[in-house]
């Protein structure tokens, strides 16, 4: 039982792929680099941050990010540099402006359209007369009474 709990705890813990050679000597800069890299997407893994990905491109991005921070860039300047180089795709949560606004609004718009179509279909259903005729009532009465 203890082994199972240990295995599950290890699986639930975030796996960071940062190599020891990538870690900066300055703990404050390293902390900034970790926080920024958690918001950047691995181009290969797609829904993993570069902090979690072990892909070679993620390693290169982590090194590049740390180089920018050591050079004196602010967090936003470092992110802007990577976005200028790799596009907004590199951001795990891109800004909701410009062309991205269409993507952000597409899902709610499609949901509203689907609800509208469903409501219209339900409202237009023909009303079926479910009342029984006198002959059908008599037949039913014969069946139900022994």
Predicted confidence at residue 7, as pLDDT, reads 65
Angle at 22 between CA 20 and CA 28, to 5 degrees: 100
Cα(121)–Cα(113) distance, integer angstroms: 12
What is the mean pLDDT of the segment spanning 55-75?
A: 89
CA 43: distance to chain centroid?
15
Give residue-wise pLDDT tens across range 26-62: 788 888 888 998 889 988 887 888 888 888 888 888 8
Predicted confidence at residue 95, as pLDDT, reads 73
Q: Where are the domains of the chain?
A: 2-90, 99-144
- CATH number 1.10.8.640 is the correct assignment for the domain at 2-90: yes
Cα(53)–Cα(36) distance, integer angstroms: 14
Distances (CA, A) of 140 to 129, 130, 137, 144: 17, 14, 5, 6
Lowest mean pLDDT, pick from 13-27, 29-43, 63-77, 128-142 = 13-27
Q: The whole model's pTM is what? A: 0.58
Give residue-wise pLDDT tens across range 80-117: 999 999 888 888 887 777 777 787 788 899 999 999 99
Query: Is residue 13 over pLDDT 50?
Result: no
* Beta bridge partner(s), residue 91: 40
Predicted confidence at residue 20, as pLDDT, reads 65
Distances (CA, A) of 95 to 41, 88, 106: 14, 9, 15
Lowest mean pLDDT, pick from 2-6, 27-31, 64-68, 120-124 = 2-6
Predicted confidence at residue 116, as pLDDT, reads 93
Give residue-wise pLDDT tens across range 112-134: 999 999 999 988 888 777 888 89
């Amino acid at each position: 039982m203890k082994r199972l709990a240990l295995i599950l705890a290890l699986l639930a813990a975030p796996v960071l792929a940062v190599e020891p050679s990538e870690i900066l000597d300055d703990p404050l800069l390293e902390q900034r680099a970790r926080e920024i890299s958690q918001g950047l997407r691995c181009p290969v893994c797609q829904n993993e941050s570069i902090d979690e990905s072990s892909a070679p491109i993620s390693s290169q991005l982590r090194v590049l990010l740390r180089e920018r921070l050591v050079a004196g860039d602010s967090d936003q300047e470092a992110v802007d540099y990577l976005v200028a180089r790799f596009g907004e795709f590199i951001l795990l949560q891109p800004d909701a402006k410009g062309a991205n606004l269409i993507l952000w609004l597409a899902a709610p718009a499609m949901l509203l359209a689907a609800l509208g179509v469903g409501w219209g279909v339900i409202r237009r259903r023909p009303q079926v007369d479910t009342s029984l005729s006198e002959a059908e009532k008599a037949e039913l009465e014969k069946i139900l009474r022994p």
